[in-house]
Copies of this chain bind each other. A is one copy, B any other.
Amino acid sequence: MTTNAIAGVYETVVYADDVVAMKDFYADVLGLRLVDGPDDLSAAFRLPDGGVLLVFDPARAGLPGRPVPSHGTVGPGHVAFRVTAGLDGWEDVFSRHRVPIERDMTWPGGGRSLYVRDPAGNSVELTADEIWPD
């Protein structure tokens, strides 16, 4: 395993019945770079660190007999993003786009997270800090 280990997460997925409607949030509000779609099935956004955020319609991605294994969830998921600077600028971004901040969290260790919801109701967190044990 040490010679062939996992290096990191490549694809992170959130689900939405209306994939196209997610583009406005992830591209225009969060500023992610759209590299595929959006179409009825999916959209792909490339992150600066090389990772990919995927949005899938669970009804279509969950159909049997697709070229790739089926998957698809119902209910609000969660994803957290690293931001390159503090969170103050993001309060302005969310205000400008009329995205309500659901929670402004200060962690016991001193870190801070802002939480909003994407158009499908997924919980989206932004932080510049380290929250989990190393």
Contact = CB atoms under 8 A, between A and B. Distances in A.
B31 A1 contact: yes
A76 B79 contact: no
Interface residues of A, number: 70
A132 to B, nearest CB: 5
Contacts of A77: 13, 15, 71, 73, 77
How many copies are assembled? Answer: 2
B4 A83 contact: yes
B32 A6 contact: yes
Interface of A: 1, 3-13, 15, 30-32, 35-36, 44, 46-54, 56, 58, 61-62, 67-86, 89-90, 93, 102-103, 105, 113, 115, 117, 122-123, 125-127, 131-134
